[in-house]
């Protein structure tokens, strides 16, 4: 596996706790806005969120300190393998899944699932298969799970909006 | 005969219903497939089936979960032995002994010993669960509100410190889970929290998209992120061993050499480790393996193909299944990741864990306990006998169709739970979050346990403090609370300060 220097903002070990610190800050700010109309106690609905946010800050700072120490020990960012390029395929899957979610009700289960599975095959590099065979596999998988959900478990899956 | 015993017997009777039996067998086969396939786990199998439990009878759904759990724990030994890749982390010790036997030409024999150990351990674990659950129920009645808080805190601390190398990250994940659980209307006051002006969040975050996202979607993303050379594990047909069914039968002389003490002791060790929150099958297998090596008359064989090592590891990890159910059923505290998802099945179906579960809904729980025992006693040896020669081919399944299927089941499953597109979006969001957490070395199971236990932790803490005018010393003056706080300190001492050399929890 190749090792190339990663800038801190591409190092998931650094960027993740930083993002979580930001999330915790938003969470804590929202916790201060929680008002309990029936409670005058200290132990109201905002008590636990404030406590958890405080603990989260401490834990995240420890994680961040450890990550920075590891970076420093590895020589300012060296030694972290080049995993950023591995994100292309997962991002494609996320984009495909978002499109699938958007198309699920308007197109219905079958019309949304066949292209979703077909394109997932592409992302997973389903080798040694022609496009036609991949399409056939996608249709079979869609049909099998339709049978499972609708046939075996009697769950109604969406039809195309134009038909319903 | 006590009412409990009658209900348990009725639970065995329920398994004779053809529908229930069919779901138990299907569950076992699904669990065996997911357990044997490296990268797939029993937790993932149950997470994918979670949405379907809505359309199943609760008892049937729990029976299916139990058989998946038992099969998943056993089936990890198959690829551990045949190709030296444990199908599940709990089978790592089996790989150390099974694979050398495979290389020596005794692969089928090693699989037979793994199945025998799994069968004995699974049966002992299920029996201990059935026998000791009423005692645990009585003990749980003694715990007051401050004690319940300290018990949940103990569970969360043990779950985090079981992560060993990732304790700060485990803490972050568990706190993140608690934060997610606080979204929605507060359980004690009619106050909406963290809804950010949207009605979609008023009812809080549903368990379903969280479980599907963290276990299924994140797995699909993790698999597609792997480099191309790892994408498809294909075996050259010429390298596949030819195995006859009779080869699976362990010789009586070998079983005598292992000795019944090894089986029973390993099973008891595994069961006790199962009771501990978050410890899991790999720790059970490791501790039993080390103990078996320490007491063995042939310690020199360990690492070179010891059948005794296989027996100890497999007895322990399958016995762990029974142990993990005790804290889940009686306190709502899962003993391992799989029981955490099974707890989700209980809660989705409106069952509240606790001692009252045995009083009021034992008829729903008893078939699950019976299914654990039957899966271990009958289905493990039967599956090995029928499908053993074909098990090896499981790993030659291509990733593209497999993970595409998982993606479809996961997304459609998230939808069918409430017929809501929002749940699909949430599943994807949690999947992406879990993917990056996993990538950075955060244990995602602690996130799930934080989410599941967070509401109890909050309620018990707030009630304890409210009853005592906000004075936290109630946690130290209440004997049951003090007991669990001291227990937490003891565990912290032995697992962190004087840390043993154990593998990471799985």
Give the pLDDT confidence of A112-141 residue by residue, as tens digits.
999 999 999 989 887 666 888 889 999 999
Q: How far apart are alpha carbons B450 and B322 in whole angstroms?
A: 22
Task: Give the model confidence (pLDDT) of B244-274 as tens digits.
Answer: 777 888 899 999 999 999 999 999 999 998 8
Is A158 part of a structural domain of the chain?
A: no
A99 and A137, same domain (yes or no): yes
Chain B residues in contact with A107 by the CB 8 A cut-off are: none
3-state secondary structure B167-220: HHHHHHHHHHHHHHHCCEECCCCCCEECCCCCHHHCCCCCHHHHHHHHHHHHHH
Are residues A126 and A145 located together in one domain of the fold? yes
Interval B22-39 mean pLDDT: 86
Considering only residues 180 to 209 of chain B, which have any Cβ-Cβ distance to chain A shorter than 8 Å?
Answer: 182, 186, 188-191, 193-194, 196
How close A67 comes to chain B (CA, Å)? 10
Report the C-alpha gap between B93 and B78 in whole angstroms: 12
Query: Which pLDDT score is estimated for B236?
Result: 47
- Could you tell me if residue A37 is inside a domain? yes
- Same domain? For A36 and A88 the reply is no
Residue B92: inside a domain = yes
Q: How many domains does chain A have?
A: 2
Whether A62 is covered by a domain: the verdict is yes
> Chain A residue closest to B192 (CA)?
A34
Q: Which of A73, A92, A112 is the last residue of a domain?
A: A73
A43/A101 same-domain check: no
Q: How far apart are CA A116 and CA B38, in angstroms?
A: 25
| A3 SS3 class | strand
Q: A13 and A51: one domain?
A: yes
- CB proximity B411 to A under 8 Å: yes
**Of A73, A96, A124, the domain-final residue:** A73
A chain contacts of residue B189, beta-carbon cutoff 8 Å: 36-39, 44-45
User: Is A20 within 8 Å of B176 when comparing Cβ atoms?
Assistant: yes
Asked if the structure places residue B503 within a domain, the reply is no
B505 located within any domain? no
Contact indicator for B296, B308 with CB cutoff of 8 Å: yes
Q: Please give the Cα distance from B491 to B158 (Å, whole number).
A: 7
Q: What is the pLDDT of residue B322?
A: 92
How far is it, in rounded angstroms, from Cα B59 to Cα B351?
A: 11
Residue B356 in 3-state DSSP? helix
Rounded Cα distance between B80 and B394, Å, is: 13
- Which pair of structure tokens corresponds to residue B370? 């019976």
Q: Is residue B154 part of a domain?
A: yes
pLDDT digits (tens, 9 = 90+) for B326-341: 988 888 888 778 888 8
What total of structural domains would you count in chain B? 1
- Kindly report the nearest CA distance between residue A141 and chain B, in angstroms: 7
Contact (CB<8Å) A120/B404 = yes
- The arithmetic mean of pLDDT across residues B379-400, rounded, is 77
Q: Are strands B192-193 and B184-185 parallel, antiparallel or unpaired?
A: antiparallel
pLDDT (tens digit, 9 = 90+) per residue, B72-126? 888 888 878 877 777 777 888 888 899 899 888 888 889 999 999 999 999 999 9
CA dist., res. B49 & res. A152, Å (int): 13
In a domain, A61, yes or no: yes
Q: Which two tokens stand for residue B404?
A: 């595409």
Q: Which of B175, B228, B458 sits opposite A125 (nearest CB)?
A: B228
Which DSSP string corresponds to B85-142? --SSGGGHHHHHHHHHHHHTT-HHHHHHHHHHHHHHHHHHHHHHHHHHHHHHHHHHHT
Confidence (pLDDT) at B75: 86
Nearest to A126 among B400, B421, B424 (CB): B400
**B363/B347 Cα distance (integer angstroms):** 16
Question: What would the pLDDT profile of B304-331 be if each residue is shown by its tens digit?
Answer: 889 999 999 999 999 999 999 998 888 8
Residue A33 lies in a domain: yes
Q: For residue B74, what are the contacts with CB-CB under 8 A and spacing of at least 6?
A: B32, B35, B114, B115, B118, B122, B314, B318, B380
Probe site for chain A from B23, B26, B160, B169 (most A CB atoms < 10 A): B169
Q: What is the CA radius of gyration of chain B?
A: 22
What ipTM was assigned to the predicted interfaces of this complex?
0.90
> Would you say residue A2 lies in a domain?
no
User: What 3-state class would DSSP assign to B152?
Assistant: helix
Mean pLDDT of A35-51: 81
Q: How does residue B345 score in pLDDT terms, banded at 50, 70 and 90?
A: confident
Residue in chain B lying closest to A61 (CA): B168
In DSSP terms, B461 is beta-bridged to: none
Name the residue with tokens 């869609």: A142
pLDDT for res B488: 92
Task: Reply yes or no on whether the pLDDT at A24 is more than 80.
Answer: yes
Give the pLDDT confidence score for residue B370 in this predicted structure: 95
Q: What is the pLDDT of residue B232?
A: 42
Could you tell me if A96 and A59 lie in one domain? no
Q: Give the whole-angstrom CA distance, residue A48 versus residue A63.
A: 22
- Kindly state whether residues A27 and A53 are assigned to the same domain: yes
Q: The pTM is what?
A: 0.83
Q: Could you report how far apart the first and last alpha carbons of chain A are, in Å?
A: 52
Query: Distances from the Cα of B316 to the Cαs of A9, A80, B187, B299, B380, in angstroms?
Result: 44, 37, 39, 19, 15
Contact between B400 and A126 (Cβ < 8 Å): yes
Question: What mean pLDDT is predicted for residues B483-489?
Answer: 93
Q: Is B160 on the interface with A (CB under 8 A)?
A: no
In this structure, the answer to whether residues A36 and A89 fall within a common structural domain is no
**What's the rounded Cα separation, in Å, for the pair B369 and A41?**
44
Is A157 inside any structural domain?
A: no
Please indicate, yes or no, whether residues A107 and A61 belong to a single structural domain of this protein. Answer: no
Task: Mark which of A73, A93, A109 sits at the end of a domain.
Answer: A73
Which positions 115-154 of A are in contact with B (Cβ < 8 Å)?
A: 116-117, 120-121, 123-127, 137-138, 141-142, 145, 149, 153-154
Establish if A163 belongs to a structural domain: no
Domain that holds residue A125: 84-152
Residues 6+ apart with CB under 8 A from A9: A15
3-state secondary structure of A81: strand
Q: What are phi and psi of B16, to 5 degrees?
A: -75, -15
Domain-embedded: residue B122:
yes
| E strand or H helix that includes residue B385 | helix B380-391
Residue B506: inside a domain: no
User: What's the CA gap between B282 and A150, in Å, rounded?
Assistant: 38
CB–CB of A86 and B168 under 8 A? Answer: no
Closest CA to B47 of B420, B341, B407: B341
B473/chain A closest Cα distance in angstroms: 15
Has residue B395 been placed in a domain? yes
B167-195: burial string, b at 16+ Cβ within 10 Å, e else: bbbbbbbbbbbbbbbbbbbbebbebbbbb
Task: Output the six-digit token pair for B381.
Answer: 């040896």
Instruction: Assess contact for B282 and B505: CB atoms under 8 A.
Output: yes
C-beta atoms of B416 and A104 within 8 A: no
Q: What is the pLDDT of residue B1?
A: 53
The pLDDT assigned to A129 comes to 65
Q: Which two tokens stand for residue B294?
A: 């320490």
Question: In Å, how far is A121's CA from the nearest CA of chain B?
Answer: 5
Cα(B390)–Cα(B401) distance, integer angstroms: 20
Q: What is the largest CA-CA distance in chain B?
A: 74
Helical segments of B197-306, H only: 207-211, 218-225, 228-231, 252-258, 260-275, 280-295
A98: nearest Cα among B411, B14, B171, B51? B411
Do residues A105 and A64 both lie within one domain? no
Record: contact A45-B193, CB cut-off 8 A: yes
Q: How far apart are CA B386 and CA A33, in angstroms?
A: 62
Residue B238's CB: how many other CB atoms inside 10 A? 5
| For A129, nearest residue in chain B (alpha carbons) | B400
């Amino acid at each position: 596996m190749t090792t190339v220097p990663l800038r801190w903002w591409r190092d998931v070990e650094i960027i993740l706790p930083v993002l979580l610190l930001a999330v915790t800050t938003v969470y804590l700010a929202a916790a201060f806005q929680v008002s309990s109309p029936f409670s005058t106690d200290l132990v109201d609905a905002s008590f636990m969120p404030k406590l958890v946010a405080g603990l989260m800050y401490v834990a995240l700072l420890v994680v961040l300190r450890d990550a920075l120490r590891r970076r420093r020990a590895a020589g300012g960012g060296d030694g972290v393998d080049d995993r950023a390029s591995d994100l292309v395929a997962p991002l494609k899957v996320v984009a495909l899944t978002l499109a699938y979610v958007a198309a699920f009700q308007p197109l219905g289960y079958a019309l949304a699932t066949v292209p979703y599975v077909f394109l997932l095959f592409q992302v997973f590099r389903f080798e040694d298969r022609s496009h036609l065979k991949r399409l056939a596999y996608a249709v079979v998988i869609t049909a099998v799970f339709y049978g499972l959900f609708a046939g075996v478990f009697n769950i109604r899956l969406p039809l195309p909006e134009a038909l319903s | 005969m006590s009412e409990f015993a009658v209900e348990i017997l009725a639970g065995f009777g329920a398994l004779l219903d053809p529908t229930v039996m069919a779901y138990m067998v299907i569950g076992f086969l699904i669990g065996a497939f997911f357990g044997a396939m490296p990268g797939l786990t029993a937790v993932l199998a149950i997470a994918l089936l979670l949405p379907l439990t809505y359309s199943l009878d609760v008892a049937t759904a729990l029976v299916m979960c139990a058989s998946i759990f038992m099969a998943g724990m056993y089936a990890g030994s198959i690829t551990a032995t045949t190709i030296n890749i444990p199908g599940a982390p709990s089978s790592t010790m089996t790989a150390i002994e099974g694979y050398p036997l495979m290389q020596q030409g005794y692969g089928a024999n090693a699989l037979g010993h793994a199945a025998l150990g799994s069968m004995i351990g699974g049966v002992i674990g299920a029996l201990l669960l059935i026998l000791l659950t009423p005692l645990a129920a009585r003990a749980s009645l003694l715990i007051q509100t401050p004690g319940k808080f300290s018990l949940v805190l103990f569970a969360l601390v043990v779950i985090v410190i079981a992560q060993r190398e990732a304790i700060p990250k485990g803490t972050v994940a568990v706190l993140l889970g608690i934060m997610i659980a606080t979204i929605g209307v507060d359980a004690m006051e009619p106050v909406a929290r963290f809804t950010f002006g949207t009605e979609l969040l008023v009812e809080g975050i549903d368990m379903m998209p969280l479980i599907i996202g963290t276990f299924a979607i994140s797995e699909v993303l993790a698999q597609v992120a792997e480099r191309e050379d790892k994408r498809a594990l294909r075996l050259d047909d010429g390298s596949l061993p030819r195995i006859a069914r009779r080869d699976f039968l362990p010789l009586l002389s070998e079983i005598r050499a292992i000795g019944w003490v090894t089986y029973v002791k390993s099973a008891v060790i595994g069961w006790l480790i199962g009771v501990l929150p978050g410890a899991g099958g790999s720790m059970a297998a490791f501790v039993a393996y080390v103990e078996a090596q320490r007491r063995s008359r042939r310690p020199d064989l360990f690492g070179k193909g010891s059948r005794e090592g296989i027996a100890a590891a497999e007895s322990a990890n399958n016995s762990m299944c029974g142990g993990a159910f005790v804290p889940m059923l009686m306190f709502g505290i899962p003993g391992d990741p799989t029981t955490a998802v099974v707890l989700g099945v209980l809660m989705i179906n409106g069952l509240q864990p606790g001692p009252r579960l045995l009083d009021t809904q034992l008829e729903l729980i008893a078939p699950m306990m019976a299914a654990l025992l039957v899966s271990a006693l009958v289905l493990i040896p039967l599956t090995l006998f029928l499908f053993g020669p074909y098990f090896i081919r499981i790993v030659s399944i291509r990733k593209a169709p497999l993970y595409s299927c998982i993606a479809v089941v996961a997304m459609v499953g998230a939808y069918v739970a409430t017929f809501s597109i929002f749940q699909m979006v949430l599943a994807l969001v949690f999947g992406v979050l879990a993917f990056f957490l996993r990538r950075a070395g955060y244990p995602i199971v602690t996130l799930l346990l934080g989410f599941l236990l967070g509401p109890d932790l909050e309620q018990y803490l707030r009630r304890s403090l409210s009853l005592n005018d906000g004075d936290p010393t109630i946690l130290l003056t209440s004997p049951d609370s003090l007991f669990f706080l001291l227990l937490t300190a003891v565990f912290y001492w032995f697992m962190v300060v004087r840390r043993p050399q154990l593998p990471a929890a799985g």
